[in-house]
Structure 1
């Protein structure tokens, strides 16, 4: 029966083309990518492969696999969904069954019965052809995805290194990444292992936010076109989904300023404590960013401002610095600072006087207060790093 149907392949291809057009619109909507002649030829080639397996056996010839492998590769390159291709393969199997059965019915009753008893060969053959097609599709899809990933990583690297002002780079970024040269952008720098998945955040696309992510150095960088949201709103949207430390730059104008945004995001990331996941928005941490931007100046500021306090034994130094922090948090109220520290206000006052003696400056002096606040930030940052 299979040998008989082999002579009817043109009619098979015509009927499958007609049936496929009616049932698989997702495939035929891509007529600009898949020429009708290509589809019709692939129908014939893959049906021939199945019929060859049926007529000559599964272990005698290997050339049957070339057609389904080639079909899978081409459809992956053309961007046709695998589900659509498999649907057409299933339609082709049904049509082969109809044609084989019609050929069998033209034979004697004994031959028809023998055909029905051996019809499992059809399903085995078409399954092998479909499996080979999927193999070709997946292998080419993986290769194309790897190439796309390399292009994306190369472009993201160029943009965060400040080459977005180059018209050629900007044009390629718009074509490959869908990022317009002019727009509102922010950079998110995620401090995580590159092997970990920091996948898309739900809801961003609905707000017009487009994110392109790629590994860069030992981190993952996200280029975010902000759409209709602010950088602050983006931080709020990211917070429930980021399980890692992240730095978020403020808003910048266009691809040309993404290099600046990357450096700002890096500063924001450095202000984040190692055990504090979630995004640190630079605009909310500008004093801390000033400190971490220059470690040498931060060290000098802490040493000059806190003076002999830093030379004390660990426990005494910790008590005095914790008292100073609590006093600032309490808006310089000794009573409220004592509540934060679970001690009497007089104890707070005694510790503050000792701090003044050790630093040689009055805590009533506005400039000294500013220096103390920055020195505490510098001391905490240097201790962490």
Structure 2
């Protein structure tokens, strides 16, 4: 497919007008009417496109006036015999509009509104200055073609420049957000002036703020290796908290979707603090779907505590599964934390009697460990434990006596029961991990 210059059709339209004698004869007549056409064109755009009046940016209307004048000047130059240019003024205007976050569709709509006004302006000037021998119908058709091609050319140029600048701004913003997230989660030296300015400009050094870290991943961790899936998960964290009165900074870190969420803890020193931020986030994060697991940290009183909050969120994520998809660090039982430490640390050694306990429990097909758990569930009441297991109370006493002989721990007492329960839970965790 041939790659043609977007200005080529416009140059051909100007050439056709030149052959009909309209160019360059029409230039003087165009100049005479230019002031009147400027007012008509500007009023038409403002009447038909509400975005210009709806914008609160004070530069929008003055920019529109200057850009309108630039177009009329360019059209007069082209029809006066000038060569088709690069439309630099269109490029600059579109990039400026992108920086202002003014919608591209409003600019393109303005070009379409100007099409009819420009066509009438050229037609009237051509009729006044045109060659009487030229066909009126052919001249009008050529003028219509020129107006169409001019509108297409400037629309193409504006769209290209606007999109390019928007992409640049997005990359810059993404870079700033990534740097900010890295600083917050990685920790920083408060004496670093550059970092302090970065956080201050972003509003992360305000007082009376609470912070919380949320980490998420798919149930299948390998899905995070697909960039599209990872980006969707990052966007999900932002969208789930969008309706809450919080601020969210999200991104990717170590194959996890991570969000630093902040909110006002109290409006002044005289007001009661709000409910913990982590508690307010929990119901919203439950809407993430069944294919995602999430960990939530405790509230952090300042940005300096965010590295610890990240560690808490990671720990909470380790306890999340398909049955408990969202886990808060504050909800993890102490026993679970101790067992996790045992599972993760290869240097933690069990007492010597543990092997004998495990062998006897395996020989009894789990009856000894089941008795310990039933006794604990029955609030250390032998009769209740016997009813739970549907055995005679003497069976409970016999098993406890056997445990005492194996481990030298009295399972009927609190301290002995605690030791033996932890040992059996370590056995279960080790079996699960293997």
TM-score normalised by the chain length of structure 2: 0.68
Equivalences for residues 49-88 of structure 1 within 5 A: 61=84, 63-88=85-110
Write the distance in 2 (CA, Å) between the matches of 1:12 and 1:223: 54
Between 20-29 and 71-80, report the one with greater CA deviation: 20-29
Aligned to 2:245: 208
Compute the displacement of 1:319 (Å): 4.7
| Range 154-163 or range 351-360, more displaced | 351-360
* Equivalent runs, 1:1-385 vs 2, <5 Å: 4=26, 7=31, 12-22=37-47, 24=49, 26-27=51-52, 29-32=55-58, 36=62, 38-46=63-71, 61=84, 63-103=85-125, 106=128, 111-118=135-142, 119-163=144-188, 165=190, 168=193, 169-176=195-202, 180=206, 182-192=208-218, 193=224, 195=227, 196=230, 197-198=232-233, 199=235, 200=237, 204-227=241-264, 230=276, 231-242=278-289, 243-273=291-321, 275=322, 278-287=325-334, 288-293=336-341, 295=343, 300=348, 306-308=354-356, 310=358, 319=366, 323=370, 327=374, 330-331=377-378, 334=385, 344-345=390-391, 361-372=409-420, 374-375=422-423, 378=426, 383-384=432-433
Give per-residue Cα distances to partners, 1:310-350, cap 9 Å, x unaligned: 5689x879856984796389546546755xxxxx5569969
Change (3 A) 1:44 1:236: same
Aligned-pair Cα RMSD in Å: 4.4
Superposed CA offset, 1:245-282 (max 9, x none): 22100111122221221121122122224x55732100
3-state secondary structure, aligned to 1:246: strand
1:123 and 1:221 mapped to 2: Cα distance? 50
1:210 CA drift (Å) = 1.4
Partner SS for 1:224: strand
1:208 to partner: Cα distance = 0.9
2: distance between equivalents of 1:232 and 1:115?
73
C-alpha contact (below 8 Å) 2:373/2:421 kept by paired residues:
no
Sort the Cα spacing of 1:109 and 1:205 in 2 relative to 1 into closer, same or farther, 3 A: farther
For 2:344 and 2:120, the matched residues in 1 are separated by 82
| Conservation of the 8 A alpha-carbon contact between 2:91 and 2:161 | yes
Residue 223 of structure 1 deviates from its aligned partner by: 0.6
* 1:341 corresponds to: none
Distance 1:375 1:51 in 2: 91
Larger radius of gyration: 2
Give the total of aligned pairs: 374
In structure 1, runs of 5+ residues without a counterpart are: 339-343
Cα distance in 1 between the residues matched to 2:371 and 2:77: 86
Kindly state the Cα deviation for residue 368 of structure 1 after the two structures are TM-superposed.
3.9
CA distance in structure 2 between the aligned counterparts of 1:258 and 1:164, rounded to whole angstroms: 13
Kindly provide the CA deviation profile for residues 71-100 of structure 1, in whole angstroms up to 9, marking residues without a partner as x: 222221233232332333333334323423
Partners of 1:330 and 1:317 lie apart in 2 by: 20
Alpha-carbon separation, structure 1, partners of 2:427 and 2:285: 29
Between 1:149-158 and 1:92-101, the stretch displaced more is 92-101
1:35-58 deviations in Å (ceiling 9; x for gaps) = 82x44343344566678889999x
How high is the TM-score relative to the length of structure 1?
Answer: 0.75
Give the secondary-structure state (helix, strand or coil) at the position aligned to 1:159.
Answer: helix
Distance 2:162 2:369 in 1: 63
CA contact (8 A) 1:305 1:375 kept: no
Deviates more, 1:209-218 or 1:303-312: 303-312
Contact 1:264 1:282 in 2 (8 A): yes
